[in-house]
A = this chain, B = another copy of it.
Amino acid sequence: MRQLFHLPIDPACRKVRMLLSEKGLKCELRAEKIWERRDAFLRLNPAGEVPVLIEEDGTSIPGGQVITEYLEEVYPEPTLLGKNPIDRAEVRRVATWFDVKFQGEVTSNLVDEKIFKGFLGLGAPNASAIRAGHANIHYHLEYIGWLCDRRRWLAGDDVSLGDLAAAAQISAIDYLGDVPWSEHQGAKDWYARIKSRPSMRPILADFVSGKKPPPHYADLDF
């Protein structure tokens, strides 16, 4: 069967897991402790990062953005990118906003500090990074609300990779209990909608040892 080397919580992996599910593609998950830098894994992806997709014929496709473009090309229906180049550019713009900008300004400061730093043996979380993550998330949640005032989903009237990329990031922060939902009703309404999709269910069942999510994490009525 198709396999995905991944890490629970990691947003790039979550986005690919959701995309596979939205397209109805079955996939066996294999957790990869990337900090062990296994030789066999480095041969699959010299960058040493997850996610890496292995197709049934053994073809390996490494990296979140590479995998999403590949899956859209090989399994185009249903599309999560959109039907024409301009719509797809907008979907890619929104997805990149969350993959890169939200990841750098929020997720790196919260998830990497509170969870992955421990796995990597890099010491205690950095308090000023955590403060920055808490400060930066408001602007992104406001942007989600602003987009949803103008369209049904984040990148247009259909659910898209933009929503998957955003949900992948925000669900990782929500696992830590660090999303200030009560101050951002628009973002909360959007998250309630994406959270109820079947593709989110396995993600809401993720568990990282030593760190329990808050009670509302998997609750559709949070």
Contacts and interface: CB of A to CB of B under 8 A. Distances in A.
Interface of A: 46-47, 59, 61-63, 65-66, 69-70, 73-74, 85-86, 88-89, 92-93, 96-97, 101, 143
Nearest to A62: B93
Given A59-B86, A66-B92, A73-B88, 9 more contacts: A47-B97, A61-B89, A63-B92, A65-B65, A69-B88, A69-B92, A70-B85, A70-B88, A73-B85
Nearest to A95: B66
Contacts of A96: 63, 65-66
A47, A61, A70, A89 interface centre (most CB from chain B within 10 Å): A89
A69 B101 CA distance: 19
Nearest to A68: B92
A181 B47 CA distance: 23
User: How would you classify the secondary structure of chain A's contact residues: helix, strand, loop or mixed?
Assistant: helix
Contacts of A63: 92-93, 96
22 contacts: A47-B97, A47-B101, A59-B86, A61-B89, A62-B93, A63-B92, A63-B93, A63-B96, A65-B65, A65-B92, A65-B96, A66-B89, A66-B92, A69-B69, A69-B88, A69-B89, A69-B92, A70-B85, A70-B88, A70-B89, A73-B85, A74-B85
A15 B210 CA distance: 43
A68 to B, nearest CB: 10
A61 B62 CA distance: 26
Contacts of A65: 65, 92, 96
Contacts of A89: 61, 66, 69-70
A207 to B, nearest CB: 29
Nearest to A69: B92
Contacts of A85: 70, 73-74
Contacts of A97: 47
A141 to B, nearest CB: 15
